[in-house]
Structure 1
Amino acid sequence: MTERLPVATPRQVRRATRLMLTRGDLSWAVLLNVLAVVASLVAPWLLGRIVDAVERGDVAIVDRLALGVVAAAVAQLVLTRYARYTAHRFGERALAGLRERFVDRVLALPTAVVERTGTGDLLTRSTADVATVGTTLRTAVPEVFTAGLQVAFIVVVVFLLHPVLGLCTLVGLPALWLVTRWYLRRARPAYLAEGEVNSAVAESMAGTAEGARTVEVFGLGARRVREVDDAVDDVYRSRTRTLFLRTVLFPITDLAHALPTFAVLLVGGFGYLRGHLGLGAVVAAGLYVWQLVDPLNRILLWVEQLQSGGAALARLEGVAEAATPPVTPPSPHDDRLRVSAVSYAYVPGRDVLRDVSLEVRPGERLAVVGPSGAGKSTLGKLLAGLDVPREGEVTVGGVAVADLLADGAERHVLLVTQEHHVFTGTLRDNLAMAAPDADDTRMWDALAAVEARWARELPDGLDTSLGADGTRLDAARAQQLALARVLLADPHTLVLDEATAMLDPATARNAERSMAAVLRGRTVIAIAHRLHTAHDADRVAVMEDGRITELGAHDELVAAGGTYAALWRSWQGAEAR
């Protein structure tokens, strides 16, 4: 059954939020927002002065006050523009830091966790959740901050006009507080549930697309459609739940917005008629309360985004709970690779490796053979440090291989598989990831060693763009690029897991010539599905049902008449046919 990655607790989300807010320089954004809010308060006050002046018959001052209104409006426009610009810049920088931390944590996830989780959950977190947090940081947080400042300043100014009018602005506060509290209690779990079912839909659709051939062959179309429909139904129910929360929140907050306007006009009108309040003060208070509608509406508009952004941030930060913590291991004292009583399971309770012990001498060529499903590729991943065993240890020079890989220091053991990925970027970028300090000479030497003559013919040499938007490499060239990376990384031990299995025979022969330069002088562990590799090895390890059942030289094992001898005779017969 597919598992879900952890979700951060509210405390962890608050700590991550503080970290993002304190890493950037918020001072300019805060200052500009404060000045913009102050500028927005000038016009209603001046309009109140104009009303008082007209009432007194002092029209000479009206023109000057009107110019002040225009100047305040222009100042508010300019300050708001730059306040939003600085806030957006801060949001983008904070989001960039969040993306980098998320990628680091995803790369630190143990392989077993990734395989149990599946692609849907990670895909949703790295796309939809990152986009949601981005919108929250760029827009929702600055908007809510500015709106909150406006509300606070307006209430203070109305109190300064007259305390009774100030109290009128607060009449909607109880209803607003109660409904907001009710909403916030329910919003976080509702949005977390929505994110989870979105992951389930992505997982179901990705699985159907990736296994389309299998679905066709076994006639599973109707079943897969039902599964996707069930996942979509879950999404519908979760979104109906969040929609219900909004249908309660929005009408009550609209009422809470209208109550202060009604109270100010009613109380202010009575106060003016009885001579307790000036007409200018009532007009100014009415304009200020009318100004409250916009910031309160913005807060209402973005409070949902803040909740969904908080839920998305919890899902992004939750990846850290499943990631392997960084370590700083000691340096290996030699190049000897040792597997000690290792057991491993992808699913708890179902070991695919059982009490495996093996020692590989420096410079040795070891072939690992056995029937399909015996655990050969799994052992190869553990030898390269891509995962850690459930029991036992895999070490090189007395240091855990997985710790050396996580530390990001010199690569001691490297896995070469049949999948050779070309990353979007230049040829230089694709090579430098194996050796960031490599100069052009080292890169060209590595390409020449694997017979990648085509690289010299590229239009921009090492700066030629590769991938979907640039030069596309076929399977043979992609493998040569991968082998050049191996040479640049310069590990002392290579684990080969059928590195040429996906190539046609002619291309595979050329690839094996390229690989000869890579293997020279290194310890080689070959996961062999074709036994000619085992014939040429110094020793052969035979795996059956997750255990090493035979270990020795090719001739010794053939003479022993065991499992390897039977595999050898069967393979020779197949080759003869």
Structure 2
Amino acid sequence: MRLPIADDRTVRAYLVGLFSANRGSVALVVVLQLLASGALALLPVIIGQVVDGALAGTLSASSDAARIIALVLTLVAVSVVAGWLSEYKAMALGEHVFAQMRERLVASAMALPLSVVEEAGTGDLLGRTTHDVPALDFLVKRGTYRILYLVVTGATSIITSLVVAPELGWMLVAQVLLAWPIIVWYLRRTVPVYRSSSARFARLSGIVAESIDGAESVRALGMGRVRMGHLLSLVDEIWRMESYGAWARMFMAGMLMTALHGATVAAIALGALQVGAGWTSVGAVSTVVLLSAGLVDAVSEATYWTSEFQTGWVSLGRIAGVELVERDRSASGRTPADSHMRARSVGYAYRDGHPVLHEVDLDLVAGETLAIVGPSGAGKSTLGRLIAGIHPPSSGSVEVGGVPLVDLDETALRSEVALVTQEHHVFVGSIADNLRIARADASDQEVLAALESVGAGEWVAALDEGATTKVGSDGLELSPSQAQQLALARLLLLDPHTVVLDEATSLMDPTAARTVEASLGRALEGRTVVAIAHRLHTAHDADRIAVMLEGRIVELGTHDELVALGGEYASLWNTWNRR
């Protein structure tokens, strides 16, 4: 599965929405650019009048020269000041729009159903954040100003030429009409190429990230050459696509320059004929030719921004596409009556037609510790994730206080139930920052108490900077056991009444695991705990045990009851004790 890509209509709506939210700034930039472009467009008009005056002998060497110089200097000053202000405001607008776009992307990514993220893989989402967002950086921040400027300049030049010399001004309109089909030809041939290139960049990012994260497995299984082969194959495909895009861009630029300069030459020739026939003046021809040259320069620069805009458009489609993923839950506003959790006729399938849970019924007793055991593939972790509200059930319901978990918003859900798995993540920042992700207003004493509760207090205290020690990619590297302790401490600060531990201590050695589990047992006293048991001693210590087999709960009871029953659990327990 891949995350969706927004179509052109959706991208246009997305872009309009971003700039509409800043319509005041956009209007100010356009007004300033009209002022700057209008002042510049009047210079060819003045030159044309000077030419006509000189040929007619009506110019005064002293008074007219001073007046013309003063007028030119005034127009230049207005253009420079208005241009500088418009550039400043446009760049500020670009920064603001880019920040809004990033915030929307992060918010959309955080709201993605975890099942979608897992199916799409890390590369797709990573590519959109690390390749597509930077691809838009320069375009939004700098291109916003230049594109608006070129559009306003072109429009001003055309309007000025039509007002001053309508008999020749239509040649500038002809220049635009000549340029349009060439640009359309370029876009039709390169948009699909750049879209495919961006998708391959995403796959490339995924291969690199997964190879780094699983470096030990790659080396142990001798997969380095295979992974490198996939990477080089993608690089080759990207190079060929980018090469085609570069060729198309060069061809477009050549065709545009030929057409535009040809139109300018035609304007000069037509102007000469009209002057000879007495239909226009040399000054009017001079004005139109100068405006035409300015339009050629604007279109020439526009070819560069067309390429940037084209790449950005593809990236924007991938970024906007994240918002198109349907949410798997919607908050109803209902409030749970109590903390009682239960599952009723719950079924779940990661893929349609391949259920992994079948008609599971389970009532949790408040304050109990329930261990879920069973062979690999029995559905233990899947059931745990449904109880924690990570996935909505495909059928049936999981409720707390009579309210389905899918009816709770994320904040309300996490105040009811939370999950800690064997997979951990250390965020860049201090140890205290990592814990305060769960509760931003946690005091230093509460942070230290949470660390102490999971057995991390001693090693944190031994650090020179204690809980303020920087960790993560640019700080102290923590062992898997220490990282998992931070995850468990975060859970304590989150303070839900029900906790799901999915092999949360499996990365620790048995001695450390027993110590942490004992500490957790004390810290979680009074809470409902669902433990996905990796080691059967966890099940032995639980109040009740649920045995799963092929997606069903086949046994439920205390340790002694299930051993006496002589069924699946008794078999697992006897096998465990013979180790």
Superposition TM-score, scaled by structure 2 size: 0.90
1:282-333 deviations in whole A, cap 9, x for unaligned? 3222221111122111222112222222221121121222241642341112
Partners of 1:454 and 1:218 lie apart in 2 by: 34
Q: How does 1:512-523 map to 2 (within 5 A)?
A: 512-523=517-528
The yes-or-no answer on 1:531 pairing with 2:536 is yes
Partners of 1:330 and 1:49 lie apart in 2 by: 76
Q: CA deviation at 1:478?
A: 3.7
Partners of 2:464 and 2:301 lie apart in 1 by: 53
Residue aligned with 2:174, SS: coil
Q: CA deviation at 1:555?
A: 0.4
Moved more, 94-103 or 149-158: 94-103
The yes-or-no answer on 1:287 pairing with 2:290 is yes
Partners of 1:464 and 1:72 lie apart in 2 by: 59
In structure 2, the residue matched to 1:89 is: 92
Asked if the contact 1:110/1:388 (under 8 Å) is kept, the reply is no
Q: CA deviation at 1:267?
A: 2.3
In structure 2, the residue matched to 1:389 is: 393
Residue aligned with 1:353, SS: strand
Asked if the contact 2:331/2:406 (under 8 Å) is kept, the reply is no
Q: How does 1:159-308 map to 2 (within 5 A)?
A: 159-243=162-246, 245-308=248-311
Equivalent residue letter for 1:192: R
Cα distance 1:416–1:156, how it changes in 2: closer, same or farther (>3 A)? same
In structure 2, the residue matched to 1:314 is: 317
Q: How does 1:19-30 map to 2 (within 5 A)?
A: 19-24=17-22, 25-30=25-30
The yes-or-no answer on 1:140 pairing with 2:125 is no
Asked if the contact 1:106/1:323 (under 8 Å) is kept, the reply is no
Residue aligned with 2:125, SS: helix
In structure 2, the residue matched to 1:498 is: 503
Residue aligned with 1:346, SS: strand
Residue aligned with 1:59, SS: coil
In structure 1, the residue matched to 2:120 is: 117
Q: CA deviation at 1:535?
A: 0.8
1:241-261 deviations in whole A, cap 9, x for unaligned? 534543443222212321332
Moved more, 266-275 or 528-537: 266-275
Cα distance 1:441–1:216, how it changes in 2: closer, same or farther (>3 A)? closer
1:111-146 deviations in whole A, cap 9, x for unaligned? 222122111111111121112233332233332221
In structure 2, the residue matched to 1:354 is: 358
Cα distance 1:473–1:223, how it changes in 2: closer, same or farther (>3 A)? closer
Asked if the contact 1:332/1:397 (under 8 Å) is kept, the reply is yes
Partners of 2:123 and 2:424 lie apart in 1 by: 23
Partners of 2:413 and 2:171 lie apart in 1 by: 66
In structure 2, the residue matched to 1:340 is: 344
Q: CA deviation at 1:402?
A: 4.1
In structure 1, the residue matched to 2:156 is: 153
Q: CA deviation at 1:272?
A: 3.6
Equivalent residue letter for 2:167: V
Cα distance 1:471–1:517, how it changes in 2: closer, same or farther (>3 A)? farther
In structure 2, the residue matched to 1:483 is: 488
Cα distance 1:471–1:82, how it changes in 2: closer, same or farther (>3 A)? farther
Asked if the contact 1:388/1:402 (under 8 Å) is kept, the reply is yes
Residue aligned with 2:530, SS: strand
RMSD over aligned Cα, in angstroms?
A: 2.8
Asked if the contact 1:404/1:411 (under 8 Å) is kept, the reply is no
Q: CA deviation at 1:219?
A: 4.2
Equivalent residue letter for 1:287: L
In structure 1, the residue matched to 2:557 is: 552
Moved more, 149-158 or 75-84: 75-84
Unaligned ranges ≥5, structure 1: none
Moved more, 194-203 or 270-279: 270-279
Partners of 2:251 and 2:335 lie apart in 1 by: 61
Q: CA deviation at 1:207?
A: 4.1
2:422 counterpart (418, 422, 425): 418
Asked if the contact 1:171/1:259 (under 8 Å) is kept, the reply is no
Equivalent residue letter for 1:396: V
Q: CA deviation at 1:384?
A: 0.9
Moved more, 313-322 or 61-70: 61-70
Q: CA deviation at 1:455?
A: 5.8
1:49-78 deviations in whole A, cap 9, x for unaligned? 443444425221224423433443343233
Q: How does 1:433-512 map to 2 (within 5 A)?
A: 433-440=437-444, 442-447=446-451, 449-450=453-454, 452=457, 465-470=470-475, 473-475=478-480, 477-505=482-510, 507-512=512-517
1:421-472 deviations in whole A, cap 9, x for unaligned? 3322345543332223445554455445556366667777776654344555
Residue aligned with 1:339, SS: strand
Cα distance 1:162–1:223, how it changes in 2: closer, same or farther (>3 A)? same
Q: CA deviation at 1:567?
A: 1.1
Percent of aligned pairs with the same amino acid:
39
Partners of 1:220 and 1:485 lie apart in 2 by: 36
Moved more, 80-89 or 214-223: 214-223
In structure 1, the residue matched to 2:82 is: 79
Equivalent residue letter for 2:178: A
Equivalent residue letter for 1:100: E
Q: CA deviation at 1:191?
A: 2.7
Residue aligned with 2:501, SS: strand
Asked if the contact 2:453/2:520 (under 8 Å) is kept, the reply is no
In structure 2, the residue matched to 1:43 is: 43
Cα distance 1:459–1:573, how it changes in 2: closer, same or farther (>3 A)? closer
In structure 1, the residue matched to 2:60 is: 58
Asked if the contact 1:326/1:406 (under 8 Å) is kept, the reply is no
Q: CA deviation at 1:368?
A: 0.7
Moved more, 176-185 or 155-164: 176-185
In structure 1, the residue matched to 2:384 is: 380
Equivalent residue letter for 1:45: V
Asked if the contact 1:368/1:540 (under 8 Å) is kept, the reply is yes
1:191-242 deviations in whole A, cap 9, x for unaligned? 3222223223333444444444444444444544443344344434543553
Partners of 1:553 and 1:42 lie apart in 2 by: 91
Residue aligned with 1:520, SS: coil
Partners of 1:209 and 1:428 lie apart in 2 by: 27
Asked if the contact 1:346/1:352 (under 8 Å) is kept, the reply is yes
Partners of 1:408 and 1:285 lie apart in 2 by: 67
Residue aligned with 2:499, SS: strand
Equivalent residue letter for 2:44: P
In structure 2, the residue matched to 1:569 is: 574
Moved more, 399-408 or 338-347: 399-408
Residue aligned with 1:171, SS: helix
Cα distance 1:478–1:119, how it changes in 2: closer, same or farther (>3 A)? closer
Q: CA deviation at 1:486?
A: 2.0
Moved more, 70-79 or 518-527: 70-79
Partners of 2:276 and 2:69 lie apart in 1 by: 27
